[in-house]
Structure 1
Amino acid sequence: MKPLVLSLFIALGLSTTATAQEAGATPATLKSEAIPAVMEKAVENFIRPGYHRFRDQSATLETDMHALCAGPSAEALDKARVAFDKTVAAWSTVEIVRVGPVIEANRFERILFYPDRKSTGLKQVQAILARPDESATSVETLKDKSVAMQGLGALEFVLFGTGSEVLLKDQQNFRCRYGAAIAGNLLRLGNELADEWDKDGGIKDAWKHPGPDNPVFRDGREAITALLGILVHGAEAIRDQRIETFYKGADNNTFPRQAIYWRSRNTWHSVEANIEALRALMRESGMADLLDEDSRSIVSSIDFVARSLVRVANDIDPDIEAAVADPIERTKLDFLLLNSKDLILRLGNDYGGAIGLTAGFSFSDGD
Structure 2
Amino acid sequence: MIAITTQTIKSMARGALAVSAVSLIAACSPPPAAKVLADTSERYILTSYHEFSTTSLQLAEAAAQFCAAPTQSSEAFEEVRTQWRRSVIAWSGVQNLQFGPLLVDNQAWKIQFWPDKKNLIARKVETLLRSAETLDIKRIDDSSVVVQGLSSLEYLLFDQAAGKLDSYSNATGPRRCDLLVAVATHLHGVAAGLYDAWRPEGGDYLHSFIKTGKNNPEYPDDSIALANLLDTLVAGVELIKRDKFERPLGLDSDTSRAQIYLLEWWRSQYAKEAIIANLNSLQTLFNADDGYGLDDYLTDVKQRGDLSTKIQQGFTSSIASAKAIPNSLFSTAKPREQAELIAFQSELSQLLSLLRMDLPEALGISLGFNAKDGD
TM-score range, shorter chain: 0.7 to 0.9
Do the aligned partners of residues 362 and 304 (structure 1) sit closer, same or farther apart at CA in structure 2, a change above 3 Å counting? Answer: closer
**In structure 1, the residue corresponding to 2:212 is in which secondary structure?**
coil
**In structure 2, the residue corresponding to 1:246 is in which secondary structure?**
helix
Where does residue 124 of structure 1 map in the other structure?
Answer: 124
1:218-229 mapped onto 2 (5 Å cutoff):
218-229=220-231
Coordinate RMSD, CA, aligned: 2.2
Which has the higher mean CA deviation after the structures are superposed, 92-101 or 240-249?
A: 240-249
**Quick one: which of 307, 313, 317 aligns to 1:304?**
313
Q: Say yes or no: does 1:313 pair with 2:317.
A: no
Q: What is the rounded CA distance, in whole Å, between the counterparts of 2:310 and 2:132 in structure 1?
A: 53
Q: Say yes or no: does 1:275 pair with 2:279.
A: yes
Say if 2:55 and 2:87, in contact at 8 Å, map to a contact too.
yes
1:82-97 mapped onto 2 (5 Å cutoff):
82-97=82-97
Where does residue 21 of structure 2 map in the other structure?
Answer: none
Where does residue 341 of structure 1 map in the other structure?
Answer: 349
**Quick one: which of 142, 150, 153 aligns to 1:152?**
150
1:210-359 mapped onto 2 (5 Å cutoff):
210-249=212-251, 252-284=256-288, 285-293=292-300, 294-325=303-334, 330-357=338-365
Where does residue 39 of structure 2 map in the other structure?
Answer: 41
Do the aligned partners of residues 304 and 122 (structure 1) sit closer, same or farther apart at CA in structure 2, a change above 3 Å counting? Answer: farther
Q: CA deviation at 1:221?
A: 1.4
- Greater RCO, CA 8 A, separation 6+: 1
Where does residue 3 of structure 1 map in the other structure?
Answer: none
Q: What is the rounded CA distance, in whole Å, between the counterparts of 2:349 and 2:237 in structure 1?
A: 8
Where does residue 25 of structure 2 map in the other structure?
Answer: none
Structure 2 unaligned blocks of 5 or more: 1-29, 371-375
Which has the higher mean CA deviation after the structures are superposed, 228-237 or 246-255?
A: 246-255
**In structure 2, the residue corresponding to 1:211 is in which secondary structure?**
coil
Say if 1:266 and 1:318, in contact at 8 Å, map to a contact too.
no
Q: What is the rounded CA distance, in whole Å, between the counterparts of 2:275 and 2:34 in structure 1?
A: 30
Structure label with greater radius of gyration: 2
**In structure 2, the residue corresponding to 1:323 is in which secondary structure?**
coil
Which has the higher mean CA deviation after the structures are superposed, 302-311 or 79-88?
A: 302-311
Identity fraction in percent: 25
1:176-191 mapped onto 2 (5 Å cutoff):
176-191=177-192
Say if 2:287 and 2:294, in contact at 8 Å, map to a contact too.
yes
TM-score by length of structure 2 reads 0.82
Where does residue 6 of structure 1 map in the other structure?
Answer: none
Say if 2:360 and 2:367, in contact at 8 Å, map to a contact too.
no
Do the aligned partners of residues 174 and 245 (structure 1) sit closer, same or farther apart at CA in structure 2, a change above 3 Å counting? Answer: farther
**In structure 2, the residue corresponding to 1:324 is in which secondary structure?**
coil
Q: CA deviation at 1:327?
A: 6.1
Where does residue 105 of structure 1 map in the other structure?
Answer: 105
**In structure 2, the residue corresponding to 1:143 is in which secondary structure?**
helix
Q: CA deviation at 1:186?
A: 1.1
Do the aligned partners of residues 208 and 321 (structure 1) sit closer, same or farther apart at CA in structure 2, a change above 3 Å counting? Answer: closer
Q: CA deviation at 1:290?
A: 2.2
Structure 1 unaligned blocks of 5 or more: 1-31
Q: CA deviation at 1:65?
A: 0.6
Q: Deviations over 1:264-296 (max 9, x none)?
A: 121111000000011000111511232245411
Where does residue 140 of structure 2 map in the other structure?
Answer: 142
Say if 2:325 and 2:340, in contact at 8 Å, map to a contact too.
yes
Say if 2:276 and 2:322, in contact at 8 Å, map to a contact too.
yes
Q: CA deviation at 1:334?
A: 2.4
Q: CA deviation at 1:168?
A: 4.6
4+ aligned runs moved over 4 Å, structure 1: none
One-letter code aligned to 2:140 = L
Q: Deviations over 1:118-159 (max 9, x none)?
A: 333332123323x14534x21122011101110111100100
Say if 1:316 and 1:323, in contact at 8 Å, map to a contact too.
no
TM-score by length of structure 1 reads 0.83
Say if 2:63 and 2:180, in contact at 8 Å, map to a contact too.
yes
Q: What is the rounded CA distance, in whole Å, between the counterparts of 2:260 and 2:345 in structure 1?
A: 15
Where does residue 163 of structure 2 map in the other structure?
Answer: 164
Q: What is the rounded CA distance, in whole Å, between the counterparts of 1:38 and 1:69 in structure 2?
A: 45
